[in-house]
Structure 1
């Protein structure tokens, strides 16, 4: 028996207290799970909040920004983000008025200049000197505008089913539903609506349609509603839809390597426009998705692979 133990026995000392075992540290957030953040932006009529989802190592200097289409949100890129998270800090904003972002008080501010300014604020928040960019439809237009400017931060650009010519036929089709969605009595009715208006996305699994619905709607009193401000349709419908929109001067000013992803049946990015995009400006590479219109979802391995390979070919 040790001297200390003998003394405790002799004088009736109570046993030494047992130090409580420290709780194990909480596990660090997985790089393959989304993290939600937001940033304050300034527009023509005051401040607004833009939400964004982040994946991957937040200390990774390689940043990939993925921006969605007109009525969509940043969670559209979940599958692409998981695939790219080992290589990038992936950031998927909800453009103002969509998803988890705030709504603008003045609906006429839902315009590309507002969105471009917001993305510049986001890139500054990320402390990123350069970025790679994936933009679907409207998100591609935002990327084109930024990439066309001198001293811009975009080093590689993916344009998903969008280019310098926006057909009047596609604008009229989109105008029939943007900002016009009804309230739905149940989740299943909301999913049926999304399947209908998004039918050009092509063949998706039930799980994929459910994901797109879960991230696109919210519960409201009496049912479900789309998670975007109906006011985003106001400036859209004020545009005179008489001729195609021509942005060739913007595209021709782009100097970074560019990949165009086109739905083979797209009514927004025509085959001839995509061909010309490979012959002028940045001379984009082209990947066409069969049996798909506007726009490919970049959810399947077959659609993700060419985007991943193009982005990882660049070191900047």
Structure 2
């Protein structure tokens, strides 16, 4: 199904570019920029989590139900991409997935061509529009979702925005703490990373498979696993953690304290696995959820 997600993602923008390139060349440029970023890869984390929740809940892997699941997975990837684009603009990040970020690439194009106005502002505004385009396509793909799943999608859309705003506000107020203690004790609404990064896609998968009853059980699996993932990111220097996290690790984490944090990760993963073991899932998916939890929290080699 992940192969089908890639095919759908590629085909969606190939068709959109083909439709626009003769009648609206400038619009085709925006589509091409977004398609290039999507083609550069990424871990497709949200589609993986969503399809895991869908198939574990007994969702069909063929037929019309599977087609809608693939479209929903693509919608989640587009939502994630829009969030990344806007985050790159806010952080003035130079690279994303090994290529120049959209706002940097478009600003350079503006400067090379000697166009009117300020290159930086042109780059930032057109990159933001590319994010808007990704969101428009995501919402279009999510439109056929049944009511239960659509409600989860709408909640996820709102929570991603609130989480991003909270992070920016706390950073501006010097309140952002790189140590993910809140995730371990239980993230509240507005968590900068958002444990809904796991929770909502899993619940969405269950709802689409007709197993909305799994929602609270998936929550019990997602919460400790998200905390383990955040701790791993802090210890290994994940993309969410900048110079302040490095400084905190160097000053505060001696070998013994790091061992304590590693033990905490193991306990959180074990908690997630025990939660998964008690679920009523399709055959083989208890083991798959346990394996997934171990991969999420594994050390970088």
- Normalising by structure 2, we get a TM-score of 0.26
Higher strand share: 1
- Normalising by structure 1, we get a TM-score of 0.26
